[in-house]
């Protein structure tokens, strides 16, 4: 969701049925924490991990064009306890989750054929009367993320051709494989920095270790993986440190680590396919490949002229539908003979953020602690927005 629209988040993840239970939030859990372990008054979304619960809130937000306060009221800002209030809109949301689940079960054999977005399309109220304006005006351009493989689309270049050309475009296999680590510094802006620019640090190793540390006004926000496990930490999160369980978010972090060292992409992606019709991103033609990372479908878009990766698009599954995550890459610069994107723009159902790196140092020694479970501050200090 774009900054400036009504659905822009007010510093926390979008919520429809969210309520917070503060007890033991900062103690590492001996088991995977489910939504009901952390939040109060969870009724129809029990038995799902906390990070998937939060993604479900983002799905509601995207489907209805809402943010946290649209559902829960302004009293929830800065007060997690208020999310537990059982207000009418939450009761409606629960009923609709059950209605959608029943439709899919009885009419589509359990297949995810209908979601909140099917009827709402970004509006709080589903439309039941056709719009003559929509019928007789030129439709918007197709979303390149939604392009699908067809039997009529050419199968050349092949997926191997596209990936090999990408490796050549960024410097060639020899130089790509010689890059074993790097560390970067730059600037970040997003909803959690009140859309002001704050420092960000990047650490990456070809062994699958990857860490991004954003120094927001209210404390550090961290997404990190040691190559096997991943964690997120941040002052806007419902708990101090959250370990990502296998699935969408963990798949996404592992994909980020692979994209940092593209020589590993063919090992990371499974079931790679091509055969997409022609499509454009920013008016430039792209080649598209599709594959899986773990259980998550992924599309990669490569500029036809330069061969460079311009977009990654993946889906993260929730109990009410799949959440899209998009990352756009630009400003490629050479680092030890390898072209690396110095700008990223992340877009997902909970917000939009951008990274602009000023410097990336290659083949540096990086302390293993940079890829360990992050340690939360003893006493988080929340500063008021000026």
Cβ contact 69:10 at 8 Å: yes
Minimal CA–CA distance to 259: which of 305, 293, 230, 216? 293
Handedness of CA 165, 166, 169, 175 (dihedral sign): negative
Q: How far is CA 250 from CA 316, 321, 329, 340, in A?
A: 10, 18, 21, 23
Alpha carbons 171 and 176: distance in angstroms, whole number: 6
Q: Is the pLDDT of residue 23 over 90?
A: no
Per-chain mean pLDDT for the chain: 88
Q: How many CA atoms lie within 13 A of 121 on its CB side?
A: 5
Alpha carbons 48 and 206: distance in angstroms, whole number: 32
The residue behind tokens 């998009």 is: 326
Query: Is residue 84 classed as helix, strand or coil in its secondary structure?
Result: helix
Cβ contact 212:200 at 8 Å: yes
Query: Is residue 135 classed as helix, strand or coil in its secondary structure?
Result: helix
pLDDT band at 385 (very low <50, low <70, confident <90, very high): low
Q: What pLDDT shows up at residue 294?
A: 93
Q: Is the pLDDT of residue 317 over 80?
A: yes
Segments making up each domain of the chain, as ranges? 1-139, 144-371
Report how many helices (DSSP H) and strands (DSSP E) the chain contains, helices first. Answer: 10, 14
**Per residue in 123-141, pLDDT tens?**
998 888 988 998 999 988 8
pLDDT band at 384 (very low <50, low <70, confident <90, very high): low
Question: What is the arithmetic mean of pLDDT over 103-115?
Answer: 94
Residues paired with 224 in a beta bridge? 211, 231
Q: Is the pLDDT of residue 9 over 70?
A: no
What whole-number percentage of the chain has pLDDT above 90? Answer: 63
Minimal CA–CA distance to 310: which of 291, 329, 323, 326? 329
Structure tokens at 82: 């208020």
Cβ contact 9:1 at 8 Å: yes
Alpha carbons 293 and 291: distance in angstroms, whole number: 7
What CATH number should be reported for the domain whose range is 144-371?
Answer: 2.50.20.10
pLDDT band at 341 (very low <50, low <70, confident <90, very high): very high
Residues paired with 213 in a beta bridge? 201, 222
The residue behind tokens 């359990």 is: 110
Least confident of 49-58, 262-271, 280-289: 49-58
Question: What is the arithmetic mean of pLDDT over 317-343?
Answer: 96
Structure tokens at 345: 């723009």
Question: What is the arithmetic mean of pLDDT over 137-148?
Answer: 91
Handedness of CA 149, 325, 323, 242 (dihedral sign): positive
Class of the 1-139 domain? Answer: mainly alpha
Q: Is the pLDDT of residue 100 over 90?
A: yes
Minimal CA–CA distance to 328: which of 308, 312, 342, 351? 312
Q: Is the pLDDT of residue 31 over 90?
A: no
The beta strand positions in the chain, using DSSP E, are 181-189, 198-205, 210-216, 219-225, 230-233, 241-243, 270-273, 279-281, 284-293, 296-303, 309-318, 321-335, 338-348, 351-362
Minimal CA–CA distance to 117: which of 165, 170, 56, 75? 56
Q: Is the pLDDT of residue 169 over 60?
A: yes
Q: Is the pLDDT of residue 296 over 70?
A: yes
Question: What is the arithmetic mean of pLDDT over 184-207?
Answer: 96
Q: Is the pLDDT of residue 359 over 80?
A: yes
Minimal CA–CA distance to 52: which of 375, 321, 233, 241? 321
């Amino acid at each position: 969701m774009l900054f400036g629209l009504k659905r822009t988040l007010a510093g926390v993840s979008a919520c429809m049925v969210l309520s917070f239970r503060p007890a033991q939030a900062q103690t590492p859990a001996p088991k995977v924490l489910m939504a009901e372990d952390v939040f109060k008054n969870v009724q129809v979304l029990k038995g799902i991990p906390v990070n998937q619960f939060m993604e479900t809130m983002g799905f509601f937000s995207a489907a209805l064009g809402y943010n946290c306060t649209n559902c829960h009221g302004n009293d929830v800002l800065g007060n997690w306890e208020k999310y537990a209030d059982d207000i009418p809109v939450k009761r409606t949301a629960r009923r609709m989750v059950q209605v959608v689940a029943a439709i899919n079960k009885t009419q589509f054999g359990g297949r995810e054929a209908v979601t909140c977005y099917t009827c709402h399309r970004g509006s709080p109220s589903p439309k039941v009367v056709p719009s003559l304006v929509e019928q007789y005006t030129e439709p918007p351009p197709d979303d390149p993320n939604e392009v699908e493989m067809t039997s009529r689309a050419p199968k050349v270049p092949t997926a191997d051709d596209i990936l090999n050309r990408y490796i050549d475009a960024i410097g060639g296999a020899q130089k790509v494989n010689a890059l074993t680590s790097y560390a970067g510094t730059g600037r970040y802006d997003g909803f959690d920095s009140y859309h002001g620019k704050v420092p960000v640090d990047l650490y990456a190793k070809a062994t699958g270790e990857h860490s991004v540390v954003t120094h927001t006004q209210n404390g550090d926000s961290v997404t990190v993986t040691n190559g096997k496990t991943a964690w997120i930490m941040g002052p806007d999160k419902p708990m101090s440190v959250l370990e990502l369980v296998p699935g969408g978010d963990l798949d996404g972090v592992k994909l980020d680590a692979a994209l940092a060292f593209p020589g590993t992409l063919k090992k990371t992606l499974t079931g790679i396919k091509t055969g997409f019709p022609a499509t454009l991103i920013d008016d430039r033609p792209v080649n598209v490949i599709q594959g899986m990372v773990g259980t998550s479908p992924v599309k990669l878009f490569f500029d036809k002229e330069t061969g460079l990766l311009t977009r990654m698009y993946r889906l993260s599954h929730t109990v009410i539908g799949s959440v899209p995550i998009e990352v756009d890459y630009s400003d490629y610069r050479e680092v030890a003979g390898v072209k690396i994107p110095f700008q990223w723009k992340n877009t997902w159902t909970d917000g939009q953020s951008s990274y602009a790196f000023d410097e990336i140092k290659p083949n540096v020694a990086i302390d293993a602690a940079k890829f360990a479970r992050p340690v939360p501050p003893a006493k988080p200090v929340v500063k008021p927005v000026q």
